[in-house]
Amino acid sequence: MKLILVLLLSFSFLNAKNIESIKMSCIQQSAYPNKTLAEQKKILIEQAKQESLEELYGAVIFSSTDILDGKLQRDSIQSRAIGAVRVKGNPKFKNGENLGEICASVTSYITPEDVKKYSPKEIKLKHFCFADPTVAVSQIKPLAKRKAYIEAISHYKPSLKNLTMDEAEALVHGFTIYNDNFDFSSAAYCFDATATILPYELEFQEKRAPKYKESTLEYHRGLVANFYALTDTDFERPLATEVLTTLNLTYHSFPLSKNIQHNVPYMIKIDGFVKVSNPIFANLKLFADVYSVKFSIDDKKILDKRHRKGGVELPAGYSKISLLIKSANRYDTRIISDALEHLYYKK
């Protein structure tokens, strides 16, 4: 991810002065035939505020679009930033130079706190460590990095400690690891890091984050994958167990051990829950390169190798999910759906 840090030398937070911009905005009244004069005046004011953004914020909201690799669009940043723009005094309206044209002179302003909110901020992590004996060694480092995203965000805003790794990754726009060390004896990966966030995004995320009840404490992030021999048709004797954080399992290798051998097919039963805050209809799509696969929600089969697209109504709360795969060496399965972001299992 690319980040262009902007030094706001022209904005001094010490003197706590507002930043102002005066813009002249004009419209042709004929372009808004169904609007009253009062409504046309509001359009002029909003147009002037929009035109003042770059002058008010400097390069902050525009350079920050360079760090997002398409995840957050320029228009999205502008639409949020303009909400902080205020109007000083009363705008001055007059007829424009062209026939049927009206104009407004608008003084817009923002506070130093507004600039701070929309400026990239670095968060330092010191000696962050991650270890999980149920995770394959090859997955320790990438999983540690994603766990560190949550840690960094919760350092800045503790109320967001329950973010999923996908949610946290979307909010981190720069991440540098240094002083890292992998301890093979304990399979612990430790490092220092610097994460870059946009404070206004975290404020927005905080407002839309679901309020978790005490009952959710028995749930843990992720899904549990149990491996069984093909002869164990009743799934009674698991050979190995792994906690997965996603249903995007393309190229995800099996955790090899004395019980899980290379080039030997196994049945893998992945169980857990998906949580949604409000009832939704979930559209699902399956990609799989395995011997067999079946995906169920609340014990109802939704997808398999013959039926790779489907949908289901999800009620608010937790719904049971199950993915049954027959494969060797890798999961090689991917299920796509915006509804499957919040995954949990019960211990």
**CA terminus-to-terminus distance, the chain:** 36
Q: What is the pLDDT of residue 93?
A: 95
- Of 127, 156, 123, give the one whose Cα is nearest residue 144: 127
pLDDT score at 209: 59
Q: Does 247 lie in the same domain as 166?
A: no
Looking at the structure, do residues 312 and 204 belong to the same domain, yes or no?
no
Q: Strand ranges (DSSP E) for 203-291?
A: 219-221, 223-228, 240-244, 265-276, 280-288
- 40 and 25 Cβ atoms separated by less than 8 Å: no
Asked whether residue 26 is domain-assigned, the answer is: yes
pLDDT band of 346, cuts 50, 70, 90: confident
Region for 298 from its dihedrals, namely left if φ exceeds 0, alpha if ψ lies in -120 to 50, beta otherwise? left
Any idea what the Cα angle at residue 226 is, between residues 221 and 232, rounded to 5°? Answer: 160
Residue 309 lies in a domain: yes
Residue 102 near residue 44, CB atoms below 8 Å: yes
Residues 199 and 106 occupy one common structural domain: no
Percent pLDDT > 90 in the chain is 43
Q: Say what the pLDDT of residue 7 is.
A: 35
The pLDDT score that the predictor gives to residue 62 is 54
Residue 228 sits in the same domain as residue 264: yes
For residue 171, is it within any domain? yes
User: Is the pLDDT assigned to residue 326 strictly greater than 50?
Assistant: yes
**245 and 328 in one domain?**
yes
Tell me: do 147 and 163 sit in the same domain: yes
- Is 336 within a domain? yes
In a domain, 3, yes or no: no
Residue ending a domain, among 172, 191, 209, is 209
Lowest mean pLDDT among 67-76, 154-163, 170-179, 259-268: 67-76
Q: Which residues pair with 243 in a beta bridge?
A: 224
Across 65-83, average pLDDT? 55
Asked whether residue 296 falls in the same domain as residue 339, the answer is yes
Q: How confident is the model at residue 68 (pLDDT cuts 50, 70, 90)?
A: very low
Q: What's the pLDDT at 163? A: 82
Total count of domains within the chain: 3
Indicate if the alpha-carbon torsion angle 138, 241, 152, 76 is positive or negative.
positive
Q: What are phi and psi of 106, to 5 degrees?
A: -125, 130
Q: In which domain, by residue range, is 113 found?
A: 19-118
- pLDDT higher than threshold 60 for residue 17: yes
Q: Indicate whether 79 belongs to any domain.
A: yes
**How confident is the model over 84-133, as pLDDT tens digits?**
789 999 999 999 999 999 999 999 998 888 888 877 888 999 999 988 77
Grade residue 26 by pLDDT with cuts at 50, 70 and 90. very high
Using the 3D structure, point to which of 183, 209, 235 is the last residue of a domain.
209
Task: Tell me the residue ranges of DSSP E strands in 81-120.
Answer: 86-87, 92-95, 101-110
Alpha-carbon gap, residue 160 to 207, rounded angstroms: 10
The verdict on 265 and 304 lying in the same domain is yes
The domain spanning residue 270 has which CATH number?
2.60.120.260
Q: Are 337 and 248 within 8 A, CB to CB?
A: no
Question: pLDDT digit string (tens) for 211-266?
Answer: 444 344 578 889 999 999 999 988 989 999 999 988 989 888 898 778 898 899 99
Here the tokens at position 251 are 């190229």
Residues 172, 220, single domain; the answer is: no
Average pLDDT, the chain: 83
| Same structural domain, 224 and 339 | yes
Tell whether 99 and 34 lie within a shared domain: yes
- Residue 10 resides in a domain: no
Q: Which residues are within 8 A (CB) of 132 and not within 5 positions of it... i.e. 6 or more apart? A: 140, 143, 187, 243
Last residue of a domain, one of 83, 118, 153: 118
Q: Which bin fits 91, alpha (ψ -120 to 50), beta or left (φ > 0)?
A: beta
Is 264 within the bounds of a domain?
Answer: yes
pLDDT digits (tens, 9 = 90+) for 255-311: 877 889 889 999 999 999 999 887 888 889 999 999 999 999 998 999 999 999 988
Stretch 31-43: mean pLDDT: 92
Per-residue pLDDT band at 210 (split at 50, 70, 90) = low
pTM for this prediction: 0.47
Is 226 in the same domain as 183? Answer: no
Q: What are the two backbone dihedrals, phi and then psi, of residue 272, each rounded to the nearest 5 degrees? A: 170, -155
